Amino acid sequence: RKRVVVFISGGGSNMLTLARACEAPDWPAEIACVISDKASAGGLAKAAALGIPTRVFERKEFPDKAAHEAAILSALDEIRPDLICLAGYMRLLSADFIRRHEGRILNIHPSLLPLFPGLHTHQRAIDAGMKIAGCSVHVVTEGMDEGPIVAQAAVPVLATDTAETLAARVLTVEHQLYPLALRLVAEGSVRLEDGRAVTTPSAAAELAE
């Protein structure tokens, strides 16, 4: 089983769906640790309740971004994860950090990338008059929300939607997509080739369902 570290900053609902999926027998991944940059993150208690080790690295306890990341990197050196899943981790990783775990970091972003990277993504989708929205799991590279797309799921945008109602609808499909995407990557059904995530035909069929 591939060892996965999940990074969170908040409620951790995506982390929880990953952790629950990993409880299934024959699942190709297990959550080795949950790392948060916020001691107040609600996801920490949820992880602990499942018996998953947690670590907190508050940015304000370090003099600068480099020192903060160095502390996280040394924890990762101990844990030796095969994969890192960002799940509502609201901090940009530096190029140096990403290079240390090149091709091993996944992120979920609540838009149909490459549309609406970054913050306020739901309001921007509504303002643009989008009729569908969704989420993307992608491999993390230096550019924010720019790496190779592994999987996406779509939902309708309703005329009555606010950023909050749209975010809630997108979140329901995030919870389906992220565990599936993690499984496909962990079992080797998705590989990186020439800067693209290439999916086997059977995995592509699963993603299309």
Count of residues in contact with ligand GAR, rule CB under 6 A: 14
Question: Can you read off the two tokens belonging to residue 15?
Answer: 């982390």
What is the rounded distance in angstroms from the CA atom of residue 181 to the CA atom of residue 151?
6
Check binding of 88 to ligand GAR (CB under 6 A). yes
Check binding of 12 to ligand GAR (CB under 6 A). yes
208 bridge partner residues: none
What is the rounded distance in angstroms from the CA atom of residue 144 to the CA atom of residue 166?
22
109 a catalytic residue: yes
Q: Which of 174, 177, 185, 186 binds ligand GAR (CB under 6 A)?
A: 174
Binding part of the chain for ligand GAR, among 11-19, 73-81, 184-192, 200-208 by CB under 6 A, reads: 11-19
Question: Can you read off the two tokens belonging to residue 175?
Answer: 């919870």
Sheet of 54-56: strand order equals: 54-56, 29-36, 2-8, 83-86, 105-109, 132-139, 149-156
What is the rounded distance in angstroms from the CA atom of residue 140 to the CA atom of residue 120?
19
Check binding of 138 to ligand GAR (CB under 6 A). no
Annotated catalytic residue within 68, 109, 122, 175: 109
In whole angstroms, the minimum distance from the beta carbon of 201 to ligand GAR comes to: 28
What does residue 72 show for φ and ψ, rounded to 5 degrees?
Answer: -65, -40
Check binding of 171 to ligand GAR (CB under 6 A). yes
Tell me which residues are annotated as active site: 109
What residues form the annotated binding site? 12-14, 65, 90-93, 107
Query: Can you give the binding site for ligand GAR, defined by CB under 6 A?
Result: 8, 10-14, 43, 87-88, 108-110, 171, 174
What residues form the annotated binding site for (6R)-10-formyltetrahydrofolate? 65, 90-93, 107
